[in-house]
């Protein structure tokens, strides 16, 4: 097996259940397992420990506790596997929304801990990849919008065709060793400033 297994933080206020999870992980070869049974101040502890993966086990969570854990999940940006004894549809939806990678109802058995953890990690990685791709797509779309705006400005101000306007943007970008979208952005900003500030004599 190449590389070490990820470090795991187990959060569980019931030390017996925490021991079950820890045993399951250690049996599966995880040698960096930290167990925290005191939920108070958990965010600070996570920041100090910087675990690769977090396992949260809530025996009988109330709404507030779940909400706190979901907020935590949004904040830490790590794979999180959450075990709960019972749940309702609403909580499950909230868990998914908060980015919990694996939400397991009534599933705490020692031999299940490792496969669920693996699933949480691969889901988290897939989700992160999707988020990155979405961000790239968004920024490409934004660039295209800015370039279209800049072309429109050139076409209006210089009476150019769309092709000529784009060619001018591209040539300027090449000459300045910048991206077309950066040149376009500069043009749009300048036009905005001139439009707003031009009348102040």
Q: Report domain extents, the chain.
A: 8-108, 135-197
Gap between the Cα atoms of 34 and 189, Å rounded: 52
Fold of the domain spanning 8-108:
Rossmann fold (3.40.50)
Give the tokens for residue 194.
């001139």
**80 in Cβ contact with 73 (< 8 Å):** yes
Which architecture, in CATH terms, is 135-197?
A: Orthogonal Bundle (1.10)
Please give the chain's pLDDT, 201 residues, in tens.
346 788 888 888 888 888 888 888 888 888 888 888 877 777 778 888 888 888 888 776 666 777 777 777 777 778 888 877 776 777 777 777 776 777 776 666 777 777 778 877 877 888 778 888 888 899 989 999 999 999 999 999 999 999 999 999 999 999 999 999 999 999 999 888 887 544 443
Instruction: Output the pTM of the full model.
Output: 0.56
pLDDT tens digits for range 136-184:
899 989 999 999 999 999 999 999 999 999 999 999 999 999 999 999 9
pLDDT computed for residue 1 by the predictor: 39
Q: 64 — alpha (psi -120 to 50), left (phi > 0) or beta?
A: alpha
* Strand order across the beta sheet in which 80-84 lies: 33-36, 8-12, 53-58, 80-84, 102-105
Residue 124 tokens read as 């988290």
């Amino acid at each position: 097996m190449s590389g070490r297994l990820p470090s795991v933080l187990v959060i569980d206020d019931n030390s017996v259940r925490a021991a079950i999870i820890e045993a399951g992980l250690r049996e599966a070869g995880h040698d960096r397992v930290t167990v925290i049974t005191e939920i108070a101040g958990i965010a600070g502890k996570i920041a100090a420990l910087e675990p690769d993966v977090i396992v949260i086990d809530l025996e009988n969570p109330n709404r507030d506790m779940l909400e706190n854990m979901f907020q935590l999940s949004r904040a830490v940006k790590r794979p999180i596997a959450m075990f709960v004894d019972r749940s309702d549809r609403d909580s499950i939806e909230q868990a998914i929304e908060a980015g919990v990678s694996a939400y397991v109802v009534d599933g705490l058995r020692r031999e299940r801990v490792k496969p669920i953890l693996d699933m949480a990690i691969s889901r988290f990685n897939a989700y992160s990849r999707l988020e990155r791709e979405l961000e790239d797509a968004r920024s490409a779309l934004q660039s295209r919008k800015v370039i279209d705006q800049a072309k429109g400005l050139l076409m209006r101000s210089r009476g150019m065709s769309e092709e000529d306007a784009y060619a001018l943007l591209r040539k300027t970008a090449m000459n300045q060793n910048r991206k077309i979208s950066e040149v376009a952005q500069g043009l749009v900003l300048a036009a905005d400033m001139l439009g707003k500030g031009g009348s102040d004599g």
